[in-house]
Amino acid sequence: MQVKDRNRNRRNIGLLALIALVLQLGIAPAITLGLGHPNFMFVFAAVVALSIGGQTGVVTAFVAGLLMDLSSTGPLGLSSLLFCISCYVLGMEVRDRIAEEPGMTVIPFAVAALGVSLCYGIAMLLYGASESLLEAIVFRALPSTLLTILGYLPFLFVMGRAGAGPLRGGGGKHRSRYTLGNR
Amino acid sequence: MPLTGKGTASRQGIRRGETHTGGRALIVTVVLSLLLMTLGTREGPAAVFSGARSVFQTVTMPVRYVGSLVTAPFTAAGNIMANLTTDQETLSELRAENQRLVARNAELEEAALSTERLEGLLELRSAYSLTSTGARIISGSNDSWSETVTIDKGTSSGVAVGMPVTDSAGVIGQIIECGPSTSLVRLIIDENSGVSAMVQQSRAQGVLKGTATGSLRLTLIRTDQTVEVGNTVVTSGLGGVFPKGLPLGKVVSVEKSAGALYYEVVVEPLSNADSLEEVLVITAISEDQRATAEDIAEADEQETSGLTKDDALKPLQIEEDDEEETSDTDW
């Protein structure tokens, strides 16, 4: 039973990853504020961390960060490092936060997104990709954070409406997530 | 038949069942990330990573295509709106009616504009006798830290890393990564970009660098040289990457700080990065498009005379400002 449920989780995570990747590669380039673009891969990683957390959340964050690094010109491994740490922190609470209190997840998500953007900005400054700290923060990190938070809201809405943790095998608020029969 | 209860209790039950809190996974992934970052700075593995990026680009090309198709109408409408807003203050209801009509005809206009751009590219190609291949931009930069675009031509079309890319107005950038069917172009407005350039009118040579604001800075133009607002900045051909004489931008401001050895020249790029669609990749440069021996000698002379002048100024500069001495050393 548990195996079946995990397979379903994997399928749902895979679907969410695909949506996030399409948004990141296809749509994010067209959405700009200052020099910032939304980071849908972080949104995906955070959604998994807030829904499932634990080992799955960290590994998903690593893969999402790696994909983000591969699609950008920044140093390979930097996004994955930041995603892992932030998603580990986001996934520390032992419950499905998105399903239980979706609105309350906005603040931790925003803090995590800001942390990731700022750390990435400082790292890129040290890496030589940006000329000043002010520019890195004002023109890039903050707009990027704002757009990422805005990008999180639709995910939150969909996940919240889906009810009892769609990433955890749940199909809705009033449906049992474990049955003997095929669903 | 449900096996467990519903709602929160069941979720928490599952969670408790999970023995992994992610601590171990965190350690492993952090170590892996740090390893990737370290290896990425070394020459051998970095080439492997570059290959991985190329493969990733190729694999995700359909996604980028779909994205560009989805966003193209919005981008086109955005461009049209941006062009129209300059006069919007002076118009009222007629403007609104016009906008509706413009939006309705956007598709046809796009086709016409596309034809114009292609004609422009052909004109540029024949005017500068460029050996080049046409390409279409399929995606912009998807991160906040670089100004790049992805084009739909790669190694299978004879495109290689380092090749210059132009649109009908002039140089837009240089290829930095190349996959079999796509390539990544770093735009000249990227902060890591640097192009050997010269002022067309005075032949003063310098390096054109990108800035975060989207404008360009022409550096290393000494204050005893001539640069004026409105001057055209073109490629100098030094370095052998860009053909000589391709337009880059127009000088929009020239400032001289007290005691400075170099002008602060701001250049506006001729191409608008937001509206790039069709481009030319210059695949080969003929001998007459390279900097001549005279140009190189001129650049050397400029450098030498700069050094001589700087040497003469050095005692004064040291007295005035320590930073100027640093600048002098860089030159």
Decide if B19 touches A, using CB distance below 8 A.
no
Buried b (16+ CB within 10 A) or exposed e, B264-294: ebbbebbbebebbbbbbbbbebeeebbbeee
Q: What angle do CA B219, B276, B204 make, to 5 degrees?
A: 20
Decide if B53 touches A, using CB distance below 8 A.
yes
DSSP of B61-81, one letter per residue? Answer: HHHHHHHHHHHHHHHHHHHHH
Q: What does the pLDDT look like over B58-107, one tens digit per residue? A: 888 888 887 777 777 766 666 666 556 656 556 667 766 766 676 676 66
Is the separation of the CB atoms in B129 and B278 below 8 Å? no
Q: Does A73 sit within 8 Å of B142, measured CB to CB? A: no
Q: Report which of residues B214 and A81 the model is more confident about.
A: A81
Buried b (16+ CB within 10 A) or exposed e, B168-199: bbbbbbbbbbbbebbbbbbbbbbbbbbbbbbb
Q: What would the mean pLDDT of A44-73 be, rounded to a whole number?
A: 91
Decide if B20 touches A, using CB distance below 8 A.
yes
CA-wise closest residue to A58 among B18, B25, B27: B25
Say what percent of chain B tops pLDDT 90.
23
Residues in A touching B13 (Cβ below 8 Å): none
Q: Which of B22, B144, B146 sits opposite A53 (nearest CB)?
A: B22
CA A41, CA B60: separation in Å to the nearest integer? 14
Judge whether residue B2 has pLDDT over 70.
no
pLDDT at site B274: 72
pLDDT at site A6: 63
Would you place residue A166 in the very low, low, confident or very high pLDDT band (cuts 50, 70, 90)?
low
Would you place residue B43 in the very low, low, confident or very high pLDDT band (cuts 50, 70, 90)?
low
A-facing residues of B in 208-227 (CB < 8 A) are 211-213
Decide if B31 touches A, using CB distance below 8 A.
no
Would you place residue B23 in the very low, low, confident or very high pLDDT band (cuts 50, 70, 90)?
confident
Say what percent of chain A tops pLDDT 90.
36
The residue of B34, B142, B146 whose CB has the most chain A CBs within 10 angstroms, and thus the best one to mutate to test that interface, is: B142
> Which residue in chain A has the smallest CA separation from B41?
A75
CA-wise closest residue to B271 among B117, B76, B112, B52: B117
CATH topology of domain A2-164: Arp2/3 complex 21 kDa subunit ARPC3 (1.10.1760)
Q: Report which of residues B178 and B105 the model is more confident about.
A: B178
Decide if B267 touches A, using CB distance below 8 A.
no
Q: Report which of residues B116 and B237 the model is more confident about.
A: B237
Decide if B56 touches A, using CB distance below 8 A.
yes
- CA distances in angstroms from A19 to A62, A74, B63, B197, B204, listed in the order given: 17, 22, 10, 43, 51
Q: What would the mean pLDDT of A36-64 be, rounded to a whole number?
A: 91
pLDDT at site A61: 94
pLDDT at site A40: 94
Judge whether residue A179 has pLDDT over 70.
no
Would you place residue A163 in the very low, low, confident or very high pLDDT band (cuts 50, 70, 90)?
low
Decide if B40 touches A, using CB distance below 8 A.
yes
pLDDT at site A94: 61
CA B239, CA B261: separation in Å to the nearest integer? 24
Q: ipTM, 2 decimals?
A: 0.81
Q: Does A22 sit within 8 Å of B32, measured CB to CB? A: no
CA distance A169 to chain B (A): 10
Buried b (16+ CB within 10 A) or exposed e, A20-43: bbbbbbbbbbbbbbbbbbbbbbbb
The residue of B58, B59, B144 whose CB has the most chain A CBs within 10 angstroms, and thus the best one to mutate to test that interface, is: B144
pLDDT at site B245: 86
Q: What would the mean pLDDT of B259-267 be, rounded to a whole number?
A: 89
> Which residue in chain B has the smallest CA separation from A19?
B63
Q: What does the pLDDT look like over B207-261, one tens digit per residue? A: 999 988 888 999 988 888 889 999 999 998 887 888 888 889 999 999 988 888 8
Is the separation of the CB atoms in B194 and B171 below 8 Å? no
CA A76, CA A65: separation in Å to the nearest integer? 9
Say what percent of chain B tops pLDDT 70.
71
CA distance B219 to chain A (A): 15
Sequence-distant (6+) residues with CB within 8 A of A169 are: A5, A6, A8, A9, A12, A177, A178
Judge whether residue B165 has pLDDT over 60.
yes
Choose from A63-77, B73-87, B274-288 the range with maximum mean pLDDT: A63-77
CA B234, CA B123: separation in Å to the nearest integer? 17
Whole-prediction pTM? 0.65
Judge whether residue A182 has pLDDT over 50.
no
Would you place residue B273 in the very low, low, confident or very high pLDDT band (cuts 50, 70, 90)?
confident
Residues in A touching B57 (Cβ below 8 Å): 71
Cβ-based contacts under 8 A for chains A and B: 201
Residues in A touching B37 (Cβ below 8 Å): 75-78, 81
Q: Which of B18, B41, B212 sits opposite A131 (nearest CB)?
A: B212
Decide if B18 touches A, using CB distance below 8 A.
yes
The residue of A18, A59, A84 whose CB has the most chain B CBs within 10 angstroms, and thus the best one to mutate to test that interface, is: A84
Q: Does B144 sit within 8 Å of A81, measured CB to CB? A: no
CA distance A96 to chain B (A): 7
- Neighbouring-strand partners of residue B268: B250
Q: What does the pLDDT look like over B293-320, one tens digit per residue? A: 777 777 777 666 655 544 444 443 333 4
Judge whether residue A105 has pLDDT over 90.
no
Report domain extents, chain A.
Answer: 2-164
Is the separation of the CB atoms in A95 and B15 below 8 Å? yes
Q: Report which of residues B287 and B247 the model is more confident about.
A: B247
CA distance B169 to chain A (A): 22
Sequence-distant (6+) residues with CB within 8 A of B142 are: A24, A25, A28, A29, A37, A71, A72
Q: Report which of residues B136 and B5 the model is more confident about.
A: B136
> Which residue in chain A has the smallest CA separation from B142?
A29
> Which residue in chain A has the smallest CA separation from B35?
A77
Judge whether residue A90 has pLDDT over 80.
yes
CATH topology of domain B61-187: Thrombin, subunit H (2.40.10)
pLDDT at site A178: 37
